[in-house]
Structure 1
Amino acid sequence: MSASRSSKSGKSTSRPDQPIFDGRLNLEQQRKRAKELLRDLRSGDAHARTRANDAGHPVHISDLGTIQLADSQLVIARENGFPSWPAMKRHIDQIAERHRQIASGTVPVRDTKSTLHLRCGSDIRNGLEIAGFVGDFLEFADPFCQGPVPDLPLDQFVETRADFIAQSYQIAHKDALARIKREYGALTTLGTYDHVVLWFEHDSYDQLILAFLMDFIATTRPNTKVDLISVGQVPGIDRFIGLGQLSPELLIWCWQNHRMPLRADILTFGTKVWKALRADDPRHLKTLAEKTTAPLPHMPAALKRHLAELPDPQTGLGLTQKLTLQIIKDHGPVTVGKVFGHLMRRYDPLPCLGDLMFWSEIQWMMDCKDALFTLSASDPKTNWAEHTITLTTTGHETLAGRRNFLDNFTGVRWVGGVRINPSPA
């Protein structure tokens, strides 16, 4: 679909200036950083000492004369997510070897032509090919983090989702319906493969689709081996957005370090989540979100982020709406594309939206009697991301909680199976 993951990790037009890091650490760069940190620590720099303390290697004033390069190297390694400098060096060396193998065409084949790689988007398709994977690729990308997810029979459910996708992402209904039917229909072929690998990350876009797939697999019981790759953090990446940002070498790392067989308890938990997601009462979903341990470890946090889209009692805003207004207040007037970039990079605690999905959020926020913001004059030749957006007085008052958005709202919004209507007149 047009809101698939190809647009979550790959579109640079809606990003801040710097590119998203692909996970390939450079050893020489890390050595330079360690030497710079050593210099700062020896000079008593407060920020450097804070970094060391945050990394679990505190440096006291009395120790300044005895600090060694090994101390600063340990801090750098821990900042990058490794327990030690040697562990980080081994990782970097392994990634460098994968790069050499890919460049020379000698990368080992890790799957077979009877393997199916299933992903909620097309963002890693090319990367898997470069990394030497030879199996088929299937995209299933119905974005359940947006729009109605009602408890309906599958045929009616598919129609409902197609209606939403067509209206929200400005594509012809027949095209939306054809694609969504094709993607749901393709799931019936899982049993024709010897091995199915599910590639997912930690946000609600991925995890809600994963819950659906757990319910589907638990119901249909395809006669095949199924593995799950679910990634929430990658060494060296301070703010991991998604698999689509990773280099082919790091996709191999995910395969080697995060792949696990699909167990019965995972299927059971995923099925419970899928049932709760479609309910018109969010209480059961809230209970699942409070799990401190779960067979799907990234699911509880993703559910909390999803539930944060329910209206705040004081402002009437979901979290994406609130953060959007906050970004415009902090940086505006600003282009819509830069608002999206700030949201993904810094403001959203667990970003999940693709660029067109965010544009839909902007349009839904315009369904109100008194505008929250203004957009620069529309030009058919101007990309939506280039429009300048400016907060209005109503927007300021709503963000501050002096007005409730639901009193102003004229549309309909969904959070899973929960329908959100304007406040009664």
Structure 2
Amino acid sequence: MPSDSHTHQHDYFHGLLNLEQQRRRAKDLLKALRSGQPDALDRLTAHAGITDPASAALRLADAQLVIARENGFASWPKLKAHCDRLQESRRQREAGRLTPPDTEDVVHLRCGSDIRHGLEIAGFLGRFVEFADPFCQGPVRDLPRDAFLSERAAFIASSYGYRMADALARGRQEYDALDTALAAQHLVLWFEHDSYDQLILAHVLAALAAKDPAVRPARLELVCVDSVPGVPGFTGLGQLAPDMLLWLWDNHRVPVGDAQLALGRDAWQALTAEEPSGLVALATAGTPAIPPMARALRRHLQELPSGANGLSQTQGLVLRILADKGTCTGGQLFRELMTKYEELPYLGDLMFWHVLDDFVSSTNPPVDVMEVKGEGGPDPDAGTDPLPEWLRRRVALNGQGMALLAGEADYMMSYTGERWVGGLRVASPDRGGVPFRWTMSEGRLAITGTAP
């Protein structure tokens, strides 16, 4: 499956805090506080609880506390200890004196290849297995294995520019590799908090739950985080330096037990259902066994048509970017979405291309897409890579797009395509699409519509 569609990285911070740099930041902040700069005073109030700095004898320790808390630490000593541990780990590793954290019998399972090299550099010895079927897009239905793989391969070929034979062969290879990984004696799952990762994690856990306990891995562990100290705006494991992966191994690796397996089973069953009540229940009640999963499921449900204008959350954000920034290239749109607009970034480059391509499947498209001169669209039969083209295409908001943003039109009334949200087929009403819509009220997600 197209792992490259999710491992596209931007200039995100790798997580290795420099203690001397943080000390300089604290000194600069103290100067700004003593000179009464408003932004600095706001930071002091937010993170140190000092609401009347004029009456306080501000010290360097106050500024250090602000810096520590902005980086996700409770205190400056905790930030310093974290930096010291990372520095020592790196020194030991570079000197060749670091004891390997695992053994060759361990299998590391990840939904992409983004940390493979980092684990090797960090000294891990275990085998790396990639399983990267992007369940956040395309049909994900409760079908027998062969039919399921064929349907997934057909979607991937038509949407991401693969040859059908190649997509099917790669899919079978990945699922066979997953079967082998699930039989390991010691299996470690590496996942982050977005819907791409969490839906794949649900599938993996459901597959494990279906196995006889006697043949499950003797040791089954999970590294799953939605934030990392010292990494503001954390988006994914792939951005982290090798020493940070080692830090996660030491500090955020937990056993997988019956509660996690049951959650994976329930989430996968709900994802493949033909109505959304199971997903809504999990997203609403929360998922304490794996806390990030509830938020990811909520975000997944927001890819259904909105009750306000028939747009998915991603489609609505694309229109909002164009309204704010003006005409953009596909590459500019993708960067804006991933770094500024999407609260839970999950799309890779190929997946975003599919969103744009599907967006104009309408009798009244909300955007105008200007083709690059001399280049046609991707040819799935030839395995043409669409990325060089769509990165340069220019996309502009038009009158229909503005009407949709204002809630004066319904995209589903003119939509001529077909897309899937798990087991839910999204199409226009006259083409038999599901009737479900999402709305937000006081920060809570609600789904309207009744199953036919």
Q: What TM bracket, shorter-length normalisation?
A: over 0.9
Separation in structure 2 between the aligned mates of residue 95 and residue 189 of structure 1, nearest angstrom: 34
1:282-304 CA-to-partner distances (Å, cap 9, x unmatched) read 11210100124521111100001
1:162 aligns with 2:153: yes
Contact kept, 8 Å, 1:23 with 1:247, in 2: the verdict is yes
Task: Tell me what 2:45 maps to.
Answer: 53
Q: Aligned match of 1:26 in 7, 11, 18?
A: 18
Contact kept, 8 Å, 1:210 with 1:270, in 2: the verdict is yes
1:70 aligns with 2:61: yes
Task: Tell me what 2:242 maps to.
Answer: 248
1:145-173 CA-to-partner distances (Å, cap 9, x unmatched) read 11111111222111111111111101001
Contact kept, 8 Å, 2:284 with 2:294, in 1: the verdict is yes
C-alpha distance 144-325 of structure 1, shift in aligned 2 (>3 A): same
Comparing 95-104 with 294-303, greater Cα deviation is found at: 95-104
SS in 2 for 1:290: helix
Task: Tell me what 1:417 maps to.
Answer: 423
Separation in structure 2 between the aligned mates of residue 168 and residue 291 of structure 1, nearest angstrom: 34
Comparing 155-164 with 42-51, greater Cα deviation is found at: 42-51
Task: Tell me what 2:409 maps to.
Answer: 403
Task: Tell me what 1:16 maps to.
Answer: none
Contact kept, 8 Å, 1:113 with 1:136, in 2: the verdict is yes
Separation in structure 2 between the aligned mates of residue 156 and residue 227 of structure 1, nearest angstrom: 31
Separation in structure 1 between the aligned mates of residue 184 and residue 269 of structure 2, nearest angstrom: 27
1:36 aligns with 2:28: yes
Separation in structure 2 between the aligned mates of residue 57 and residue 174 of structure 1, nearest angstrom: 61
Contact kept, 8 Å, 1:10 with 1:244, in 2: the verdict is no
User: 1:61, CA displacement in angstroms?
Assistant: 3.8
Separation in structure 1 between the aligned mates of residue 63 and residue 375 of structure 2, nearest angstrom: 54
Comparing 218-227 with 308-317, greater Cα deviation is found at: 218-227
Task: Tell me what 2:173 maps to.
Answer: 182
User: 1:192, CA displacement in angstroms?
Assistant: 4.7
Equivalent AA in structure 2 for residue 380 of structure 1: E
Contact kept, 8 Å, 1:57 with 1:75, in 2: the verdict is no
Q: Aligned match of 1:387 in 365, 369, 393?
A: 393
Separation in structure 2 between the aligned mates of residue 322 and residue 418 of structure 1, nearest angstrom: 19
Q: How does 1:91-170 map to 2 (within 5 A)?
A: 91-170=82-161
Task: Tell me what 1:319 maps to.
Answer: 313
User: 1:60, CA displacement in angstroms?
Assistant: 0.8
Q: How does 1:307-386 map to 2 (within 5 A)?
A: 307-378=301-372, 379-380=374-375, 382-386=388-392
Contact kept, 8 Å, 1:10 with 1:245, in 2: the verdict is no
Q: CA RMSD in A?
A: 1.6
Q: How does 1:174-213 map to 2 (within 5 A)?
A: 174-190=165-181, 192-213=183-204
User: 1:11, CA displacement in angstroms?
Assistant: 4.2
Q: Aligned match of 2:228 in 234, 237, 249?
A: 234
C-alpha distance 377-293 of structure 1, shift in aligned 2 (>3 A): closer
User: 1:194, CA displacement in angstroms?
Assistant: 2.5
Equivalent AA in structure 2 for residue 400 of structure 1: A
The aligned length equals 416
Task: Tell me what 2:265 maps to.
Answer: 271
SS in 1 for 2:188: strand
SS in 1 for 2:23: helix
Contact kept, 8 Å, 2:208 with 2:216, in 1: the verdict is no
Contact kept, 8 Å, 1:308 with 1:319, in 2: the verdict is yes
C-alpha distance 311-57 of structure 1, shift in aligned 2 (>3 A): same
SS in 1 for 2:429: coil
Comparing 76-85 with 148-157, greater Cα deviation is found at: 148-157
Contact kept, 8 Å, 1:233 with 1:240, in 2: the verdict is yes
1:308-347 CA-to-partner distances (Å, cap 9, x unmatched) read 1111112100000000111111112111111111111111
- The sequence identity of aligned pairs, in percent, is 47
Q: Aligned match of 1:89 in 80, 86, 102?
A: 80
C-alpha distance 191-299 of structure 1, shift in aligned 2 (>3 A): closer
Unpaired runs of at least 5, structure 2 = 377-387, 432-452
1:82-127 CA-to-partner distances (Å, cap 9, x unmatched) read 0110100111111112222332233320111111000000110011
Contact kept, 8 Å, 1:289 with 1:301, in 2: the verdict is yes
1:8 aligns with 2:2: no
SS in 2 for 1:252: helix
SS in 2 for 1:162: helix
Comparing 382-391 with 143-152, greater Cα deviation is found at: 382-391
SS in 2 for 1:81: coil
Separation in structure 2 between the aligned mates of residue 11 and residue 40 of structure 1, nearest angstrom: 34
Contact kept, 8 Å, 2:109 with 2:181, in 1: the verdict is no
Task: Tell me what 2:439 maps to.
Answer: none
User: 1:191, CA displacement in angstroms?
Assistant: 5.3
Separation in structure 1 between the aligned mates of residue 426 and residue 402 of structure 2, nearest angstrom: 22
C-alpha distance 223-282 of structure 1, shift in aligned 2 (>3 A): closer
C-alpha distance 300-56 of structure 1, shift in aligned 2 (>3 A): farther
